[in-house]
Amino acid sequence: MRLWRADLHVHTCLSPCAELSMGPRTILAQAAARGLDLIGITDHNSAENVPAVVRAAESSAVKVLPGMEVTSREEVHLLGLFDRIEAVLAFQELVYRHLHGSNRPELFGLQVVVNEEHEVLGFNPRLLAGATELAVEEVASGIHRFGGLVVAAHADREAFGVLGHLGFLPPGLAVDALELTGDTAEEQLRRRWPDLSLLAVVCGSDAHAPGQIGAAFTEFATETISVVELRKALRGEDGRRVIRCRRARESV
Amino acid sequence: MTVRQMADRLGLAVWVDEDLDRQVEGAYVADLLSDVIAHAPAGAVWVTLQTHANVAAVAALKELSAVVIVNGRRPEAEMLQRAREHKLNILGASEPAFEVAAKLYLAGLRQGK
């Protein structure tokens, strides 16, 4: 069993409202500097920069999980984390089918698609800042269908959080973990929503700028890095565990 | 009426006043940004409890005359900054959306095109 320090919620320059400096090598360098073993690349409603980060990570000690942060029709954000690029790109097809509208770069950012050298390959023309037509349950089942993990993003935040927008965790919503990003401690969250009961909690940064990477992280004990291993850790199965979850503002 | 007149009439707080002489051409109440993107008429005043930065982007996108944040909620710093950049009007009401909408309706505002 190994200990891995992970920030599973990192954006690239593809995401609306992310800094243009969030290119693959910058992200990986920051992650390494912060002592992270693993990052999840989770851009809004797209995974087009995942291949570049995964390729850049071949010469890095930091491992990368292909992912995406999907906006449901209720404007709830869910993270999907997958083992393979092929899985996230196949899931992307589903997301794109249910995402409409065109980007306005002057309002939402350039949405830059890059290669591993941070060279511009193009600009994503879709309204990645928009909401898909998929209900939150459909997003979750879609992620699971493609073999991914479902994390309710920044559940401690009201805006775009499952608890903030829906008022509770719907019984039919299959979520593998809730994510805390900042102010709320796990005990506070569980006290406020008692029916969260056994659901696992992870911490992630939601980094849109290099300095935010690793500001929050989760420590896992698993044999290797994979969706199967992480899911066991979230459930506390077979000796795999979540050791520690560190939010951005520990002093609060 | 202008945004300024509306603010005076309803006793609204003013968070960002980049263009108060703008005409209010309609009104829309919604807390889902995707709904505002799909349906809010240009020139409308948007009544919402959302306080985050994307509100400013959507208000700019839809060329809304003003945003009224209800329930006495405080806009986030980043939202105010973006609102200034996009020359928007951000106002505040201590009342909930229903009352604000009712007052706007009584003041003669209709949804608009």
Q: How many CB atoms lie within 10 A of CB A159?
A: 17
Q: Considering only the beta carbons, identify the residue of A104, A130, A159 that sits closest to B52.
A: A159
- For A252, the token pair is 């609060």
B-chain CB neighbours of A107 within 8 Å are 57, 60-61, 86
Q: How many CB pairs under 8 A join A and B?
A: 25
What's the sign of the alpha-carbon dihedral A182, A6, A126, A148? negative
Q: What is the per-residue pLDDT for A190? A: 86
Q: What is the per-residue pLDDT for A252? A: 37
Mean pLDDT across chain B: 97
**Rounded CA separation B43/B64 (Å):** 4
**Rounded CA separation A171/B94 (Å):** 34
Q: What is the per-residue pLDDT for A249? A: 65
Alpha helices in A85-161 (DSSP H): 85-97, 105-108, 136-145
Sole residue written with tokens 């909690």: A201
What number of CA atoms fall less than 13 Å from residue A64's CA on the CB side? 30
Q: What is the ipTM of this complex?
A: 0.91
pLDDT (tens digit, 9 = 90+) per residue, A102-143?
999 999 999 999 999 999 999 999 999 999 999 999 999 999
Mutate to test the interface with A, among B32, B33, B34, B36 (most CBs of A within 10 A): B34
- For A134, the token pair is 């998929």
User: Strand ranges (DSSP E) for A11-90?
Assistant: 38-44, 63-71, 77-81
Q: What is the per-residue pLDDT for A250? A: 53
pLDDT (tens digit, 9 = 90+) per residue, B56-89?
999 999 999 999 999 999 999 999 999 999 999 9
With a cut of 70, which residues of chain A have pLDDT below it? Answer: 249-252
**Rounded CA separation A236/B10 (Å):** 55
pLDDT (tens digit, 9 = 90+) per residue, B11-31?
999 999 999 999 999 999 999
